[in-house]
A and B are shown apart, each in its own frame.
Chain A
Amino acid sequence: MHRFANPARFLRMANAVLPYAAAAAAALLAAGLWFALIASPPDYQQKDSVRIMYIHVPSAWMGMVCYAAMALFSAMALVWKHPLADLLARATAPVGAAFTFICLVTGALWGKPMWGTWWAWDARLTSMLILFFLYLGHMALANAFDDPARGHKAAAILALVGAVNLPVIKFSVDWWNTLHQPASVAKMGGPSIDPSMLVPLLLMAAGFKAYWLMVLILRARAEIAAAKVHTIRMAQVHAAGQGE
């Protein structure tokens, strides 16, 4: 892990991976969309509206994966004081927020024709909305202070405290009565989705992951450069102050 502590080395590795991530994202999303919209059957009861699942579920997964990554980076920052950890947490927050937003809106578009309502305050939907606000809170805190270190510490604590929401989201449909149905893929007994529908779902999920990797690398580059600029500027201010 500490091999990545050197930003120059991290950047070299990240830039090497970037074109592959981009190519994988393009290929997987193209294949996923083909299967999602064209080469997969309508559901026996949800008919064509099931195709929204191929956006809604992968974005839900990514919203949660991003947050777990953010929590992990936050732990690395607070416990191991890994120099890049705060920057990576900052880098991934907006992407996670975007995925969660997509999940909530596509969920509403799917819920209206199937359930009969755009929204319900059940445990699954409410906890996902909370996740969205946790992301916004993280982004706000990380930028709230003049001293970035204080902002990062506050944001890291928020990320870790909010991490208790992840098992709540996952198990909400099992622990309580909810309008949202139980899990179809990650459950005991195997997936309850026909293979013809599992294929587009998994392709889109993989494509979203590759996309996330690509965006994360770009954002990490931006954060690292910005941090270096900040350091140089602080040094200049310090030097100017001493030169009087």
Chain B
Amino acid sequence: MTRKRQRLYFLLLGMSALGIAVTLVLMALKQDVIYFYSPSQLTEFKVPANKRIRIGGLVEVGSVAKEGAITRFRVVDKQSGIDVAFTGLLPDLFREGQGVVAEGKLGADGGFAAAEVLAKHDENYKPKEVADALKKSGEWQREEGPAR
């Protein structure tokens, strides 16, 4: 075959090998690449207590309660949930039924003590009028949480 074709095959082979290698590495490193654990993944990855981690999911509707300086809420995914306690300022976009990421530690009691809370918004963009109309007509569908 021509030298040109040789170079092309070499390139394709090299890129394929590289792609496979990168895929394997990323698969092996999954626990380090994910930005947060969903409540289900806390069990799946057997995350220990008292280790600084992040959890994420949806704020369960009706679970937000303020006790003085402490805000309590429940973070859920499709299969499970965890109770969170947080002292501090919540971000503007924090609300029930919305995505949230909390950094802190799992307590021995199975709850989560959060040191920082971030809001995670979804990928839907619409003007207020459209959102209001959807809510009115009952078509408003909350996108399910980010947990996998």
Contact = CB atoms under 8 A, between A and B. Distances in A.
B48 interface: no
A120 interface: yes
Q: Is the interface of A mostly helix, strand, loop or mixed?
A: loop
Interface residues of B, number: 43
Given A75-B11, A78-B11, A164-B22, A179 B125 contact: no
Interface in A154-181: 160-161, 163-164, 168, 175-179, 181
A44 B128 contact: yes
Interface stretch (B68-76, B79-87, B104-112, B116-124): B116-124
| Most chain B beta-carbon contacts within 10 A, residue among A75, A116, A164 | A116
Interface residues of A, number: 41
A164 B94 CA distance: 35
A149 to B, nearest CB: 16
Interface stretch (A95-103, A193-201, A211-219): A193-201
A11 interface: no
Contacts of B146: 177-178
Contacts of B126: 43-44, 193-194, 197
A115 B118 CA distance: 5
Contacts of A192: 123-125
Contacts of A122: 35
B10 to A, nearest CB: 8
Q: Is the interface of B mostly helix, strand, loop or mixed?
A: mixed
Interface string B3-45: 0100110010011001100100010001001111110010000
Contacts of B125: 43, 46, 50, 53, 184, 192-194, 197
Nearest to B127: A41
Contacts of B67: none
A44 B127 contact: yes
A177 B34 contact: yes
A164 B18 CA distance: 8
Interface string A113-150: 11111001111000000000000000000000000000
B121 A45 contact: yes
Given A50-B125, A115-B91, 8 more contacts: A42-B128, A43-B128, A78-B11, A122-B35, A164-B18, A177-B41, A178-B146, A193-B124
The 3 closest A-B pairs by CB, nearest first: A116-B91, A41-B127, A44-B131
